[in-house]
A and B are shown apart, each in its own frame.
Chain A
Amino acid sequence: MATEHSAGTQAHGGAAHSDVFPPFDTNHFSSQLVWLALTFGALYLLMSRIALPRVAAILEDRQATISGDLDHSVAMQKQAQDAVVACEDLLANARARAQALAEATHLKLAEEAVETRKSLEHSLKESLEAADVRIAAAKARAMHNVEEIAAEAAAAIVQQLTGQAPDAASIASAIAAGHTA
């Protein structure tokens, strides 16, 4: 292994490499330390000055955005709930008003109906009475006519039987007697 290794290193780098195990070769330590200090120093500066504050800002920003959005949504939800409550109030009010209106209308209509019925009944009664009066008059008139016809018929019968005309008064009294009989 040792000879192989030395052959490999010598073939490659020549005098710069000694026979020691490469990681323990002190020749390149100073160069490595210098470049490590340069690169790691630069990296540290870049990270601490630029990258890490930026990532922290991004994360903070995101947190703020998320919590802001959540707060906003909570506020919106509360608003929506308030709106629902207001809407329900409005609805209940409107319903109560509608009910009251319906009841009032119903009462009014019922009163009006009673009124109409009363006046109608009244007028009906009046026309009934008038009709009764008219019927009675017609009946009286008809009866009178019948009596006249009966008197004429009785006078004619008596003239046929007796040959002389009876006086009107005796016929009338006879008809009246027949009425009562």
Chain B
Amino acid sequence: MAASEQANDPIHQFIVTPLMSEHIGAASFTNASLFMVVVSLAVTYLMVLGTSSKAVVPGRLQAAAEMAYEFVASTVRGTMGQEGMRFFPFVFSLFMFVIFSNMIGLIPYTFTVTSQIVVTFAFAALVIGAVIIYGVMRHGSHFLHLFVPSGVPALLLPFIVLIEIISFVSRPVSLSVRLFANMLAGHITLKVFGAFVAMMLGGGALAVVLSPLPLIAIVLLTAFELLVAVLQAYVFAILTCVYLNDAIHPGH
């Protein structure tokens, strides 16, 4: 009973379970921890081992590593300018971690690190924390001009400032929830359609005949989820760039 219900339960894939002990403590090594390690190792494999030959004419792995580098570098330069390249390692690590989490999570029986709100919120808090700390360090009180757009009539100013503050505060929420919700919803959808196949195969003759339909849907959805996985990683990275740009150039 338990096994089949587990198989049909679309939420089961998000459960964090300790792998070494019975109870979860702060230091427990869980399936989530395992996949964080896997993701980090995969990125490290691509970026460190893939570039170890330092070939002028790159191999496949090195070409992929260079492509990732140039893609993120051009995104960072495009949104923040040359000055923003100081945040490049941070944005790059973030992008690679998120995209590898999303992609590895699409493999059946794996765990999607970014489907946990605590992970995505930790990233968002890290980004906003970096924005505030760097903005204050760099510009001091001038950083508060971020909330006071220039050229606004004095009558509207309190209102505008309020809106700006709300928009700033909602950034970490929207940044984290967007990624989390996309991953969660996509994986639930895939699992629900998978459960359809299993249930229809166990049903009547008509259901058995029709059971390939949800299977086809899974194939199409998987392609769509690949797009979402890459797109959400990109959105996360580019929004990080946009927010960090505020720290570099407040009041624009």
Question: Interface 1/0s, chain A 51-90, versus B by CB < 8 A?
Answer: 1101111110110010000000000000000000000000
A23 to B115, CA, bound (A): 7
Question: Interface 1/0s, chain A 1-26, versus B by CB < 8 A?
Answer: 00011011101111111000111110
Decide: A43 near B14, CB < 8 A? Known: A29-B118, A36-B122, A58-B62: no
CB pair A31–B24 under 8 Å, yes or no, is: yes
CB pair A32–B15 under 8 Å, yes or no, is: no
CB pair B9–A5 under 8 Å, yes or no, is: yes
CB pair A44–B54 under 8 Å, yes or no, is: no
A91 contacts B by Cβ under 8 Å? no
A48 contacts B by Cβ under 8 Å? yes
Q: Which of B2, B96, B115 contacts A43 (CB 8 A)?
A: B96
B177 smallest CB distance to A (angstroms): 11
CB pair B93–A40 under 8 Å, yes or no, is: yes
A67 to B88, CA, bound (A): 26
Decide: A31 near B54, CB < 8 A? Known: A23-B115, A47-B47, A47-B89: no
A23 smallest CB distance to B (angstroms): 5
Decide: A34 near B27, CB < 8 A? Known: A12-B15, A52-B69: yes
Q: Which of B14, B17, B48, B119 contacts A13 (CB 8 A)?
A: B17
Interface residues on A, range: 35 or more
Which residues of chain B (105-140) have a CB below 8 Å from chain A? 113, 115-119, 122
B9 smallest CB distance to A (angstroms): 4
Chain B minimum-CB-distance residue to A34: B26
CB pair B15–A13 under 8 Å, yes or no, is: yes
- Which residues on the A side are within 8 Å of B208 (C-beta)? none
A29 to B117, CA, bound (A): 9
- Which residues on the B side are within 8 Å of A5 (C-beta)? 9, 11-12
Decide: A46 near B47, CB < 8 A? Known: A4-B5, A16-B22: yes
Q: Which of B51, B97, B113 contacts A54 (CB 8 A)?
A: B51
B167 contacts A by Cβ under 8 Å? no
B180 contacts A by Cβ under 8 Å? yes
Decide: A36 near B93, CB < 8 A? Known: A16-B17, A51-B51: no
- Which residues on the B side are within 8 Å of A43 (C-beta)? 40, 43-44, 93, 96-97
- Which residues on the A side are within 8 Å of B14 (C-beta)? 22-23
A33 contacts B by Cβ under 8 Å? yes
Binding site for A on B (CB under 8 A): 1-2, 5-6, 8-9, 11-12, 14-18, 22-30, 32-33, 36-37, 39-40, 43-44, 47-48, 51, 54-56, 58, 62, 65-66, 69-70, 88-90, 92-93, 96-97, 113, 115-119, 122, 180, 184
